[in-house]
Amino acid sequence: MSVFLERLKRGPVLCDGAMGTLLYAKGVFINRCYDELNLSQPDMVGGIHAEYVKAGAEIIETNTFGANHFRLLRHGYEGKVREINRSGVRLARQAAGSAVLVAGSVGPLGIRIEPLGKVARAEARQVFRAQMEAMAEEGVDLILLETFGYIDELHQALLAAREAAPGIPVVAEVTIDEEGNALDGAAPEAYGKRITDFGADMLGCNCSVGPAAMLDTIERLSHITSLPLAAQPNAGMPRSVEGRNIYLCSPEYMASYARKFVAAGASLVGGCCGTTPEHIHAMKSALRVGEARATSYHVAVAGPAVQPEVKPLAERSGLGRKLATGEFVTMVEIVPPKGSDPAKELKAAKYLRGVGVDVVNVPDSPRASARMGNQALCTLIERECGIETILHYTCRDRNVLSIQSDLLGASALGLHNLICITGDPPKLGNYPDATAVFDVDAIGLVNIVHNLNLGVDIGANPIGQATAFVIGVGANPGISDIDEEVRRFEYKCEAGAHYAVTQPVFDMRLLEQFIRRVEHCKIPVLAGIWPLTSVRNAEFMRNELRVSVPDAIIERMAKANQTSEQSRAEGVLIAREMLIEARGMVQGVQVSAPLGKFAAAVDVIEALGAR
């Protein structure tokens, strides 16, 4: 058994406090790479370790919280992962001597991983492993995974720790909000069980909140896990004083909570942001008081949640029924107005319903332009026009909290059909200085919607009645890196997509190749059809939107460029030909209506008698 686990048998153990807080107090600017100081200013880092040892800490953490490839890359030190981590362990070991244990500090990657981000789980695990292998080479006593807000990422870090340092104990600490939830929304009962199942040696919380909120969480965790518990709160919530964040909890206050944490079941206590050697010294004195475990704390644990009903695809909407039964689907795009008057769009929707179009597709601020919200227009169309809509939903403008709120609202309004896309960045639109969010991309968004359809949020917390969304995604058969497009398509399907709609297709050869490459995904694909309006429109599609438009189509549009009527007629003819050729490959079509010419879109659909 490890020295750390043996030490836990003798009673609660005291860890150190903040490293970054003290480095900042010593004049190191916040924009510096604090981990690199292990190389450039080792005496400063080692001096802080020594202060904590003198204060009574029994475990000191290495100055390696952000010493992974992705975080070091921001400062140009990505080639020094091994050197920085090994140096961090050596500095801590020199200060620790033989009586104090050294914990290898490992923080999050600083970049989203799947299912909410672009970094694959295997890649994340490899990056974590490289950091922890260096620590293991220098002989850390334990590995401390700290300040993880997303449990999926913590899982990858824990797997990497087992690969890189088998036999070294691993402490897994989650950063929480005032309600005790992880940043991904998971409640203590949810992440506590998951981390226990992952096989951590100790479970706990650190950072973000002060002692009071963390105590509540430790009490709740004690009822759902048999693992030893750890508590390392901030010294209260930071206050801005003359431009600096100041933590106001006194050493005496932190000391009083050290006793309460132990009474609640914690075996490891310490501090995070704002805690200093003075706090740790006071906590050490408090832990010497012998009756810390005398007081028991009890928390009522809720009974098992009722499993929400998950509707079959065919019962979610008319579109869902057609997709489930293999019927051919016709949809036409209606772009929201630039103002607040939707009269023209409502008239178009009634016209499309009258000619037998199945569903109206409403984009979300296409080309990053400011228009009426598409959720509002979808609601008006369904209520006033009697035709189903598909709500385009993008990640550009929303964080993961507002995404879930918006989608729950859409479900309550009766909107059940979605297309989940990443969205055009603002720099492509009319407001290039506007900011974007992009908390997740389309793959992460599909995961979020899929969870809501199962009756849980991204933190696996029950939401009551499950949503019943039909989940669509985008695809681009004409993109230059088709291998990457296929890989992302597979991820979208794995995340829970029910169907896909392609970008406008003019080259049927590319569509056929794409369909063959993704047929194993077994979801319906609907072809995007765009009636060209002029040769200039065709050249714009090819050169600026990077849509594959063959030379033969450019030439046809150029020959028909005598009048606008001739150009539009030729564009409709080409679109009809595309539709006829695509009919045997796909389960439906989305036809755009450039310049608001909805009759032209209907003319295209009529090529197959698809009404």
How does pLDDT run across 492-542, given as a tens digit for each residue? Answer: 999 899 999 999 999 999 999 999 999 999 999 999 999 999 998 888 888
Contact of 41 with 49, CB cutoff 8 Å: no
Cα 223 to chain centroid distance, Å, stands at 29
- Structure-model confidence comparison of residues 411 and 400, the more confident one: 411
- Structure-model confidence comparison of residues 565 and 169, the more confident one: 169
Query: Is the pLDDT confidence value at 437 over 80?
Result: no
- Residue 192: the pLDDT is 96
Query: Is the pLDDT confidence value at 293 over 70?
Result: no
- Residue 242: the pLDDT is 44
Query: The tokens 């919380």 sit on which residue?
Result: 205
Q: What average pLDDT does the segment 391-414 reach?
A: 89
Query: Is the pLDDT confidence value at 202 over 80?
Result: yes
In single-letter form, the type of residue at position 493 comes to: C
> How many C-beta atoms surround the C-beta of residue 66 within 10 A?
23
Q: What average pLDDT does the segment 202-214 reach?
A: 91
Query: Is the pLDDT confidence value at 298 over 70?
Result: no
Instruction: List the one residue out of 86, 84, 78, 183 whose CA is nearest residue 140.
Output: 86
Q: What is the mean pLDDT of the chain?
A: 89
The token pair at 135 is 């620590």
Q: What average pLDDT does the segment 2-8 reach?
A: 92
Q: What average pLDDT does the segment 302-325 reach?
A: 83
Compute the distance between CA of residue 571 and CA of residue 591 in angstroms, rounded to an integer: 12
Structural domains for the chain: 3-287 (3.20.20.330), 316-531+585-608 (3.20.20.220)
Instruction: List the one residue out of 65, 48, 72, 56 whose CA is nearest residue 12.
Output: 56
DSSP E strand boundaries for 251-358: 266-269, 329-333
Share of the chain above pLDDT 90, in %: 68
- Residue 610: the pLDDT is 41
- Residue 561: the pLDDT is 79
The secondary structure of residue 388, as a DSSP letter, is: E
Query: Is the pLDDT confidence value at 312 over 60?
Result: yes
Query: Is the pLDDT confidence value at 589 over 80?
Result: yes
Query: Is the pLDDT confidence value at 73 over 90?
Result: yes
Q: What average pLDDT does the segment 158-168 reach?
A: 95
Query: Is the pLDDT confidence value at 295 over 80?
Result: no
Contact of 235 with 313, CB cutoff 8 Å: no
Compute the distance between CA of residue 127 and CA of residue 104 in angstroms, rounded to an integer: 15
Q: What average pLDDT does the segment 290-299 reach?
A: 39
Name 393's bridge partners. Answer: 420
Beta carbons within 8 Å of 146's beta carbon, 6+ residues apart: 61, 65, 105, 106, 107, 171, 173, 175, 206, 207, 232, 272
Query: Is the pLDDT confidence value at 397 over 70?
Result: yes
Residue 117 confidence class, pLDDT cut points 50, 70, 90? confident
Instruction: Please give the torsion angle defined by the CA atoms of residues 105, 135, 150 and 399, in that order, rounded to the nearest 10 degrees.
Output: 80
The token pair at 452 is 């809501």
Residue 444 confidence class, pLDDT cut points 50, 70, 90? confident
Residue 158 confidence class, pLDDT cut points 50, 70, 90? very high
Asked whether the bond before 342 is cis by omega within 30 degrees of 0, the reply is no
Residue 609 confidence class, pLDDT cut points 50, 70, 90? low
Beta carbons within 8 Å of 288's beta carbon, 6+ residues apart: none
